Amino acid sequence: MSAFPQREILVVVDAPPTELVEQAANRLQQVFEANPELFLSVRQPQGGSFFERNGLLYLPTAELKNEADWLTRARVLIGTLAADPSLRGTLDALSLGLAGVQRKEVSLDDMARTLTMAAETIEAILADRFASFSWQALVGNKPAEPSDLRRLIEVQPRLDFGALEPGRAATDAIRQAAASQHLATDYGARVRLTGLIPIADDEFDTIRQNAGLNATISLLTVLAILWMALR
């Protein structure tokens, strides 16, 4: 049980860049917390205010040093983006990097990954595909790991034990929230459900859908056995 903890409802959120998967998960969590009549408790084991403040403490020493060095070198670029986070500010920041190459303050190899990621983002926009740019992947100087692109939300719902599917109202509300918040279009996010309640409700739903067919087959089988036995 400690290796595979049982959760009532586990909402799995996947999105291309780390920044967007965090935003999508946070938006969903806010929707759940605003509906206490359906959800008793909501928790993100991988996120929240604690990790926002102290997440760097969990990095390996070498990786933390690499990110600190990059942030120090990129302080002018970061200041430009902080002053103007629009597309214009991003282009201004890239132009500063190219100016640094001309002054031989940085090498063209240092700018290669940044320019490649920017070009891929622009190509996706021009091709009318979902486009994203991950600053965390850029700072880390490596592609994001699969675990970086996924967030988990643990949900404890209110159950209606008078219904055949006690958690159906909660699971339907979760799916409706994912659709109403436009997570797919705004963040490129995919939302899936697992845990004890979704699995049990799906099993009951399968039984309910096939109840008529199963009852008919059972009745015909019993009649056939009686006819063969009694003629």
Q: Is pLDDT of 4 > 60?
A: no
Q: Which amino acid is at 61?
A: T
**pLDDT for 12:** 92
Listed by start position, the domains of the chain span: 9-206
Query: Which residues, including other chains, have CB under 8 Å from residue 20's CB and lie 6 or more apart?
Result: 132, 187, 188, 189
Helix (H) or strand (E) holding 192: strand 190-194
Q: Is residue 8 a contact partner of residue 167, using CB atoms and an 8 Å limit?
A: yes
List beta partners, residue 193.
11
- Percent of the chain topping pLDDT 70: 77
* The two structure tokens encoding residue 103: 């002054």
**pLDDT for 116:** 76
Q: Is residue 44 a contact partner of residue 225, using CB atoms and an 8 Å limit?
A: no
Q: Which amino acid is at 55?
A: G
Indicate the pLDDT class of residue 138, thresholds 50, 70 and 90.
low
Return d(Cα 66, Cα 73) in angstroms, integer: 11
Q: Is pLDDT of 143 > 90?
A: no
List beta partners, residue 11.
153, 193
Taking only the tens place, the pLDDT of each residue in 168-216 is: 888 899 999 999 998 888 888 899 998 888 887 777 766 666 666 667 7
Start-end of H helices in 34-164: 49-54, 61-73, 75-83, 87-102, 108-126, 135-140
DSSP for 157-181 reads EPP-TTSSSTTHHHHHHHHHHHHHT
**pLDDT for 174:** 92
Return d(Cα 21, Cα 155) in angstroms, integer: 18
Look at the chain and count its residues: 231
Q: Is residue 177 a contact partner of residue 26, using CB atoms and an 8 Å limit?
A: no
pTM: 0.65
What are residue 184's phi and psi, to 5 degrees?
-70, -45
**pLDDT for 214:** 67
Least-confidence region, from 38-42, 123-127, 157-161: 123-127
66: number of Cβ within 10 Å: 16
**pLDDT for 1:** 44
Mean pLDDT of 50-78: 75
**pLDDT for 154:** 92
**pLDDT for 209:** 66
**pLDDT for 186:** 86
Mean pLDDT of 68-73: 74
Taking only the tens place, the pLDDT of each residue in 78-118 is: 777 677 766 677 777 777 777 777 777 666 666 677 777 77
Highest mean pLDDT among 45-54, 134-143, 148-157: 148-157
Q: Is pLDDT of 13 > 50?
A: yes
What integer best gives the mean pLDDT of the chain?
78
